[in-house]
Amino acid sequence: MSELLRVENLRVSYHTYAGEAQAVRGVSFTADEGGTLAVVGESGCGKSVTARAIMGLIPVPPGEIKEDSHIWYEGKDILTFSKKEWQAFRGAECSIIFQDALASLNPTMKIGKQIAETVLLHHETDKMQAWREAEGMLGKVGISDPEKRMHQYPHEFSGGMRQRVMIAIALACGPRIVIADEPTTALDVTIQADIIELLKKLQSERHMTVILITHDLGIVADMADKIVVMYAGEVMEEGTDTDLFYHAKHPYTEALLKAVPRLDMGVQELAPIEGTPPDIVHPPEGCPFYERCSHAMRLCGYRRPPAYEFGEGHRARCWLYHPLAERGGE
Ligand code: SF4
């Protein structure tokens, strides 16, 4: 698969009363055309801030995208886009599905109008045609009787149906990249599975690139072909789904895997990750996972680990893989 989007050394801070919160600290990864990249980590690890940076949605101030941060798309650094270029990019090239459909939809506007407005924003068409396209889109995301549903308001839809509407809005202009930011978190488990299935189906039909942002490794297993694990604003490990699920190298990835049930592992005892992530206003000098890591060595506390390679595209940032470390070469 060829590369479509490259995030390179992305650093994003928020200026707060407590000081500069360094939400994203030197994050790099690539998303391939037609593939699914999952960005995984606990709440506050910087994954949603990364998604918002890709969409040009970091409010400045209080946010700040630091110098030497780049996001490459079609040979252009989108972080240098003008307002007009961002408008053309959002929706038509890249769109986002947020977690909270109820908060994202306008409660006073008919669903049909909300989808049709997105179509009108990016396609040269008239209102009638945009309405028809919106109705078609509503059917494609699995909402029955779309003709009638177009005239209803968000409160007349269930949580799962509202999330389907969000997907219809995100896909209305045929973007090449769709960012799904915790798309199923607010839903119950069976509806979550339906939404993931729908995303997978639409992705294969439309050959879209999906960037799935989630705290839940469980939903990633079925969908992602590449996974980036983030912690305290940094990438800890990246690799294919097989690399991460069967050959995880980083203690944080291992801890995440132990915290989710797995169908392929028989009966297991789930282990929550003890402790809390570090303060991002005063991030640690050494490994950010130091305080919670059961393998921590003295060096980890004061020196930031480099990224070690374990095969094409599989990297982990951990001192255990230094040739002189006890667990090196494992
Ligand atoms: Fe643990 Fe050290 Fe590796 Fe960090 S660098 S994950 S503290 S072993």
Q: How many CA atoms lie within 13 A of 127 on its CB side?
A: 3
> Best mutation site among 237, 290, 299, 326 for ligand 1, i.e. most ligand atoms within 8 A of its Cβ?
290
Give the per-residue pLDDT at 328. 46
Is the CB of residue 300 below 6 angstroms from any atom belonging to ligand 1? yes
| Atom of ligand 1 lying closest to residue 325 CA | 8
Is the CB of residue 229 below 6 angstroms from any atom belonging to ligand 1? no
Is the CB of residue 251 below 6 angstroms from any atom belonging to ligand 1? yes
Is the CB of residue 236 below 6 angstroms from any atom belonging to ligand 1? no
> Best mutation site among 230, 320, 330 for ligand 1, i.e. most ligand atoms within 8 A of its Cβ?
320
Task: Answer with the residue of higher pLDDT: 207 or 272.
Answer: 207
330 confidence band (pLDDT: 50, 70, 90):
very low
**Cα–ligand 1 centroid distance for 8 (angstroms):** 23
218 confidence band (pLDDT: 50, 70, 90):
confident
pLDDT in tens, 29-87: 999 999 999 999 999 999 999 999 999 999 999 999 999 999 999 989 999 999 999 99
Contact in structure between 183 and 9 (CB atoms under 8 Å): no
**Average pLDDT, stretch 194-212?**
93
The residues, any chain, with a CB within 8 Å of residue 68's CB and separated by 6 or more, are 9, 11
Average pLDDT, rounded, for the chain: 92
Which residue owns the Cα nearest ligand 1 atom 8? 296
The C-alpha atoms of residue 85 and residue 315 are separated, in whole angstroms, by 34
| Atom of ligand 1 lying closest to residue 251 CA | 6
- Model pTM? 0.93
The residues, any chain, with a CB within 8 Å of residue 27's CB and separated by 6 or more, are 7, 9, 10, 11, 46, 50, 230, 233, 234, 235
Which residue owns the Cα nearest ligand 1 atom 3? 318
Percentage, residues of the chain above pLDDT 70:
96
Contact in structure between 250 and 318 (CB atoms under 8 Å): yes
**Cα–ligand 1 centroid distance for 261 (angstroms):** 24
329 confidence band (pLDDT: 50, 70, 90):
very low
> Best mutation site among 315, 318, 322 for ligand 1, i.e. most ligand atoms within 8 A of its Cβ?
318
Residue 270 clears pLDDT 80, i.e. is over it = no
The C-alpha atoms of residue 171 and residue 208 are separated, in whole angstroms, by 10
Closest CA to 173 of 82, 76, 94, 57: 94
Which residue owns the Cα nearest ligand 1 atom 1? 296
Task: Answer with the residue of higher pLDDT: 226 or 98.
Answer: 226
Residue type, 44: G
Element (H, E) at 254: helix 251-258
How far CA 101 is from CA of 8, 94, 97, 150, 186, in Å, comes to 30, 18, 8, 16, 9
**Cα–ligand 1 centroid distance for 52 (angstroms):** 29
Q: How many CB atoms lie within 10 A of CB 313?
A: 13
Residue 248 clears pLDDT 80, i.e. is over it = yes
Is the CB of residue 320 below 6 angstroms from any atom belonging to ligand 1? yes
Residue 269: both structure tokens together: 């005892």
Residue 93: both structure tokens together: 């090239």
Is the CB of residue 199 below 6 angstroms from any atom belonging to ligand 1? no
Radius of gyration of the CA atoms of the chain, in A? 21
Which residue owns the Cα nearest ligand 1 atom 5? 318
Give the per-residue pLDDT at 275. 87
Residues in the chain: 330
| DSSP secondary structure string for all residues of 16-41 | ETTEEEEEEEEEEEEEETT-EEEEE-
The C-alpha atoms of residue 238 and residue 312 are separated, in whole angstroms, by 10
326 confidence band (pLDDT: 50, 70, 90):
confident
**Average pLDDT, stretch 235-246?**
96
Is the CB of residue 231 below 6 angstroms from any atom belonging to ligand 1? no
